[in-house]
């Protein structure tokens, strides 16, 4: 999620002009097999065409009678490879999971297993989106839409809608993202899977937050946390980051800091450095908001290093905004201009006046870390 700059036409809060007395990577996309299909019969009204986190989403536990029957049925090679990919996804072994889902799709084509192909395709899109190598083209989106409409399995339809919302979120098309996120919420509500409903509410909260609807976003995050086990998890840590950032923006600093520290501890506990830059950036923003500039600088530098290492371009951009503002408030104009100049050269090459603008205003009023 990236910042809203002066050129975006939308700012989450009113711009405060600085008073005169104030301190002055791309991985190659992999080919994927496609399942030949007949036109779906009786497709109803079509859907119309905002961490964090897409996780491995297993089907809900079936009734005991069905479990007994399923236990007697040996999984096909495609199903076995798909299950392996889901386990790898849960363990955050994303490259391995991507390869497993590719293989599961190939095996499903060989035996004409359309439901397994659908599940493998949806999970493959989820992993590729997290890795930043998703094919966000019309073919991929159309296939996911068709799965939403045709799949007889509510869990597969949910996953397709969830991934579609995530793809549109990455593209900053928040209206469509929210449309599909709400479809996903409706689908998983039928299944009564608390973990899936929590993930869906978190996704809706992210999209509302990106639109600066802080109160509504907080309600979704709090609802998601109530549905999740109290035990620490990576997904819980990411929701705590989102809610903590909202509280800081709302001026509820004590609560915000508590949530953000819990988030950082949770991410570190699971050794998931890939997801650490964002809560560190939220802490950087929080310390800046209360005037603790050295603490803000420390967290901002750490976040920038992690974001660059893992190719999180939105966090790299936000770190440049915040570090430039921190140095500006410290009175270090050289370092402040340096960060703002690199920001302009990398992200706004057609707007050479960006550094001067950012030196003159309070940058916190220009950005939304979660947009």
Residue 136: what pLDDT? 67
| Domain stop point among 192, 223, 250 | 192
pLDDT at 196 exceeding the cut of 70: yes
Spell out the long-range contacts of 261-264 with Cβ–Cβ below 8 A and sequence spacing 24 or more.
262/237, 263/237, 263/238, 264/237
pTM: 0.75
Which of the pair, 187 or 243, is modelled with greater confidence?
Answer: 243
**Residue 48: what pLDDT?**
33
* 163: nearest Cα among 205, 118, 193: 118
Alpha-carbon distance values, 230 to 100, 196, 204, 233, 269 (Å): 31, 16, 21, 9, 15
In this structure, is residue 278 part of a structural domain?
Answer: no
Give the model's pLDDT for residue 58.
Answer: 44
Q: Is pLDDT of 20 > 90?
A: no
Task: Please tell me whether residues 236 and 311 are part of one structural domain.
Answer: no
Q: What percent of the chain has pLDDT over 90?
A: 66
On whether residue 173 sits in a domain, the answer given is yes
- For residue 67, what pLDDT band results from cuts at 50, 70 and 90? very low
The rounded distance, in Å, linking the Cα atoms of 9 and 173 is: 15
CA separation for the pair 302, 300 (Å, rounded): 5
**Residues 97 and 178 placed together within one structural domain of the fold:** yes
Instruction: Supply the DSSP symbol for 363.
Output: G
- Is 41 a domain residue? no
User: Which residue has better confidence, 72 or 248?
Assistant: 248
Mean pLDDT of 91-115: 94
Dump pLDDT digits (tens) for 277-312: 999 999 999 999 999 999 999 999 999 999 999 989
Residues 186 and 86 grouped into a single domain: yes
Domain membership flag for residue 343? yes
Residue linked to tokens 């899936």: 196
Do 298 and 216 lie in a common domain? no
**Is residue 11 assigned to a domain?**
no
pLDDT tens figures, 133-161: 876 678 899 999 999 998 888 899 999 99
Quote the distance between the C-alpha of residue 278 and its chain's center.
Answer: 10
Helices (H), 270-353: 277-289, 293-310, 313-330, 333-347
Q: Do residues 245 and 299 share a domain?
A: no
Specify whether 211 is located in the same domain as 250: yes
Alpha-carbon dihedral angle through residues 150, 153, 158, 161, given to the nearest 10 degrees = -20
- Tell me, yes or no, whether 309 and 219 share the same domain: no
Last residue of a domain, one of 243, 271, 299: 271
Q: Total domain count for the chain?
A: 3
User: Is the domain of 86 the same as that of 180?
Assistant: yes
What is the CA 181 to chain-centroid distance, rounded?
12
- CB 92, CB 274: distance < 8 Å: yes
- Does any domain span residue 283? no
Is 184 in the same domain as 235? no
Task: Identify the band that residue 180 occupies on the pLDDT scale cut at 50, 70 and 90.
Answer: very high
88-117 average pLDDT score:
94
Q: To the nearest whole number, what is the mean pLDDT of the chain? A: 84
Identify the pLDDT of residue 103: 96
| Nearby residues of 1 by Cβ (< 8 Å), 6 or more positions away | 50, 169, 206, 210, 314, 368, 369, 370, 371
Same domain, 172 and 90: yes
Tens-digit pLDDT profile for residues 31-45: 444 444 433 333 333
Identify whether residues 233 and 258 lie together within a single domain.
yes
Confirm whether 120 is domain-assigned: yes
Would the pLDDT of 119 be above 60? yes
Same structural domain, 79 and 187? yes
CA distance 316 to 320: 6
pLDDT score for 60: 44
Q: Running DSSP on this structure, what letter comes out for residue 192?
A: T
Q: Does 46 have pLDDT greater than 80?
A: no
Residue 124 belongs to domain with CATH number = 1.25.40.10
pLDDT at 222 over 50: yes
Map residue 17 onto helix, strand or coil: strand
Q: What three-state secondary structure class fits 361? A: strand
Q: Shortest CA distance to 153 belongs to which of 183, 102, 119?
A: 119
Query: 236 has which bridge partners?
Result: none
What is the residue range of 123's domain? Answer: 75-192
Listed residues 271, 305, 320: the one ending a domain: 271
pLDDT band for 14, please (50, 70, 90 cuts): very low
Q: Does residue 93 belong to any structural domain of this protein? A: yes
Lowest mean pLDDT among 82-96, 255-269, 345-359: 82-96
Q: Is the pLDDT score of 97 beyond 50?
A: yes
């Amino acid at each position: 999620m990236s910042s809203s700059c002066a050129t975006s036409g939308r700012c989450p809060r009113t711009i405060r002009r600085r008073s005169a007395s104030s301190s002055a990577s791309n991985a190659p996309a992999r080919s994927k097999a496609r399942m030949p299909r007949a036109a779906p019969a009786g497709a109803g009204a079509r859907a119309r065409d905002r961490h964090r986190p897409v996780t491995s989403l297993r089907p809900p536990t079936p009734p005991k009678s069905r479990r007994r029957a399923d236990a007697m049925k040996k999984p096909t090679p495609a199903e076995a490879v798909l299950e392996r990919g889901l386990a790898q996804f849960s363990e955050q072994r994303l490259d391995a999971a991507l390869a497993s889902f590719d293989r599961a799709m190939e095996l499903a084509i060989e035996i004409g297993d359309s439901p397994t192909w659908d599940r493998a395709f949806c999970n493959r899109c989820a992993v590729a989106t997290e890795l930043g190598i998703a094919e966000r083209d019309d073919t991929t989106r159309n296939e996911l839409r068709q799965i939403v409409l045709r799949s007889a399995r509510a869990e597969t339809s949910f996953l397709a809608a969830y991934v579609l919302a995530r793809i549109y979120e990455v593209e900053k098309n928040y209206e469509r993202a929210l449309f599909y996120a709400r479809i996903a919420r409706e689908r998983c509500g039928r299944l009564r899977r608390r973990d899936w409903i929590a993930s869906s509410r978190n996704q809706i909260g992210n999209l509302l937050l990106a639109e600066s609807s802080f109160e509504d976003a907080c309600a979704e995050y709090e609802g998601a946390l109530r549905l999740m086990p109290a035990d620490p998890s990576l997904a819980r840590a990411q929701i705590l980051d989102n809610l903590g950032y909202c509280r800081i923006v709302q001026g509820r600093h004590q609560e915000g800091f508590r949530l953000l520290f819990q988030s950082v501890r949770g991410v570190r506990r699971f050794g998931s450095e890939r997801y650490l830059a964002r809560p560190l950036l939220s802490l950087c923003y929080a310390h800046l908001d209360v005037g603790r500039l050295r603490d803000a600088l420390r967290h901002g530098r750490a976040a920038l290093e992690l974001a660059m290492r893992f190719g999180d371009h939105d966090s790299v951009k936000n770190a440049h905004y915040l570090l430039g503002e921190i140095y500006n408030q410290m009175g270090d104009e050289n370092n402040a201009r340096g960060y703002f100049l690199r920001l302009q050269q990398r992200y706004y090459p057609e707007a050479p006046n960006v550094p001067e603008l950012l030196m003159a205003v309070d940058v916190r009023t220009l950005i939304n870390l979660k947009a």
